[in-house]
Amino acid sequence: MSANVPDVSVVVPVRDEVESLPLLMEAIASTLSENQISYEIICVDDGSTDGSAEFLKAQAQVRSDLKAVILRRNYGQTAAMSAGFNYAVGKAVITLDADLQNDPADIPMLLAKLDEGYDLVSGWRQNRQDGAVNRLLPSKIANWLIRRTTSVYIHDYGCSLKAYRAELVADMHLYGELHRFLPALAYIEGARITEMPVRHHARRFGRSKYGISRTFRVLMDLLTILFMKKFLTRPMHVFGLLGLTSMVLGAGLGIYLTFIKLAMGVMIGNRPLLILAVLLFVTGVQLFCFGLLAELLMRTYHESQGRPIYRVREVVTKDVS
């Protein structure tokens, strides 16, 4: 591998895949070397208990193309990918799973597509080799829901095999289970996104760490993505609008009840409408205050990190030389 900045950093989150790792690393090295692509492999062990961490540490002592990042415990795939991004120095970043279901032979194809001007190229497992009930059905439902919510129309959000420009990865911060929403996060950052069909193989060793149980977490993170897409830099637009609407409704009911009390002598103390008026007004005040707090948090988020509220793709000026 060249001593200069490598062409690509291959980030591999690892959780109990000791049997797959030797085959995976050789497949990556063989493919990229044959295509004369300089590279580094970054394997992030996410709290493995089967000897994967020990294997990676031993290999990192003898392989110049490998960085072994060993996390202190199991933090989840999002955290493992984030750690890999932080240690990557390549001009492009490839992510793929450690279970040999993604094919490293597809990496040059994704990089070639990236060179066409895209910022993110997502793999699409058209012929997916997974169980129909516990993997395929939840995945189809999740992909449809994510597409409808984010307006980023790719077929396979769950495919880990993706190619990114390094500068795009540097702009994205991952939390929770947001790794599956990377195309949507990239879209928020103004990225050009496309997808390509890639190969998918049946699992050869062990069993999947994922299943239908993650559906609820996906839905919660989807709401986060929706909020970030629409209101990240203007949270007052959602909280303030809801708050003002609630306050106006509460005040309107209050005025109506006051009128019928004073003008018509109707008893209002035991009417449910009075409780609703008070509840709407108090809720409106709270929502409005939440909006103000969210505005302060948003400003702190951007200003403390020096994060601009825009992304520049390029600057073009007239050459006067």
Residue 311 placed within a domain: no
pLDDT tens per residue across span 4-14? 889 999 999 99
Check whether residue 119 and residue 250 sit in a common domain.
no
Read off the pTM: 0.74
pLDDT tens per residue across span 24-63? 999 999 999 999 999 999 999 999 999 999 999 999 999 9
User: Taking residues 136-157, what's their average pLDDT?
Assistant: 79
- Residue 284 belongs to domain spanning: 236-305
Residue 213 placed within a domain: yes
With pLDDT > 70 as the criterion, what percentage of the chain qualifies? 84
pLDDT tens per residue across span 76-130? 888 899 899 999 999 999 999 999 999 999 999 999 999 999 999 999 988 876 6
Check whether residue 280 and residue 173 sit in a common domain.
no
The enclosing domain of 56 has a CATH number of: 3.90.550.10
Check whether residue 210 and residue 133 sit in a common domain.
yes
Number of domains in the chain: 2
Amino acid (1-letter code) at residue 62: V
Residue 310 placed within a domain: no
Check whether residue 196 and residue 249 sit in a common domain.
no
Domain closes at, from 230, 262, 280: 230
Check whether residue 245 and residue 199 sit in a common domain.
no
Check whether residue 291 and residue 202 sit in a common domain.
no
Residue 259 has pLDDT above 80, yes or no: yes
- State the pLDDT confidence band at 2, using cuts at 50, 70 and 90: very low
